[in-house]
Amino acid sequence: MKPRDPDALIARAGVRGNPDRDQHFLVDDRVLDRLPTYLTDIDADTSHVLEIGGGTGALTDRLLAAAGDGGTGADRDEGDRSVDGGVTVVERDPDLAAFLREEFAEQIDAGRLTVIEGDALEVALPEFSASVSNLPYGVSSEITFRLLPEQRPLVLMFQREFAERMVAEPGTSEYGRLSVSTQHYADVELVETVPRQAFSPQPAVQSAVIRAVPAEPDYEVDDEDFFFRFVKALFTQRRKTIRNGIRNTAHISGLSDPEAVVEATDEAVLRKRPDAMSPAAFAELTQLALTVDSPDGSN
């Protein structure tokens, strides 16, 4: 069956994208057709695909063609996290959620689509096997770090600059807290850049698609919350050395004795700046800080 035309969907919905509400509808058929393939290319489990921000359903339509069969045949209650197959789409705009229920009534009745109306940062997300989403850029970071700990393959659209920071390597100007945090959870690659012309209305920036494949880090951290907090603290002083960063950011990291951590850290590390530290190096420093700052191993 031929995929639904994105412009026709917008016309049937009777809506226009609203940049003030982060609504930029993806209308390029070529991009829409490619997005699901970034999962199938790696033989990812597509039995239950989660889409955040369904809009008028152009991507939803393509995902239904790629996702597994099964389902309940009704809009699932927000507290139900069962896996029934097919696609679950989360849409915060009540008018668009209503349109999706009308446009895809046949797929809903057949148990292949579930529409959850609500904010993706607040509703209970279902269990899912993978996610493909054109995220609202204003909350892309918050949504991403809700999805990454689920340890599922992700294909996500972002503002290009944000995506480049996610995949950046140590020693580059783009490398930062976002790079370390993302790469802690997954192997991430930028698979496609998307021009402004692919959207209606056109955003002010270019976009990019990343694919994140869950991967265990090659290091260990005893306190993940402290690890992220410590990385955040040091990157607030990215132009400072690690020595000064540890000393100056105890109010962020929560260290009670930053000077003791400085004294215990190798001089070669103290001379580095945060953008020269790999995730593994941050993890090693985190473990040292936990040991020195809290002799019982807690922070």
138: DSSP letter? G
What does the pLDDT average to over 152-171?
A: 97
Q: What percent of the chain has pLDDT over 70?
A: 92
Q: CATH 1.10.8: which residues of the chain?
A: 224-293
Q: Inform me whether the pLDDT recorded for 239 exceeds 90.
A: yes
- Report pTM: 0.89
pLDDT of residue 299: 52
Q: CATH 3.40.50.150: which residues of the chain?
A: 6-214
HSE (side-chain half, CA atoms, 13 Å) at 21 = 13
Least confident of 11-20, 67-76, 180-189: 67-76
What does the pLDDT average to over 182-192?
A: 97
What does the pLDDT average to over 222-231?
A: 96
Q: Report the alpha-carbon distance of residue 285 to residue 280 in Å, rounded.
A: 9
Q: Which residues are annotated as a binding site for S-adenosyl-L-methionine?
A: 24, 26, 53, 91, 119, 134
What does the pLDDT average to over 184-197?
A: 97
Please report, to the nearest 10 degrees, the dihedral formed by the alpha carbons of residues 172, 173, 176, 180 taken in order.
-20
| Token pair recorded at residue 178 | 């976002």
Q: Inform me whether the pLDDT recorded for 37 exceeds 70.
A: yes
What does the pLDDT average to over 140-166?
A: 96
Q: Which residues are annotated as a binding site?
A: 24, 26, 53, 91, 119, 134
- Closest to 12 (Cα-Cα) out of 56, 71, 45: 56
CATH number for the domain running over 6-214 = 3.40.50.150
Q: Inform me whether the pLDDT recorded for 30 exceeds 60.
A: yes
Q: Report the alpha-carbon distance of residue 3 to residue 169 in Å, rounded.
A: 38
Q: Report the alpha-carbon distance of residue 214 to residue 283 in Å, rounded.
A: 18
CATH number for the domain running over 224-293 = 1.10.8
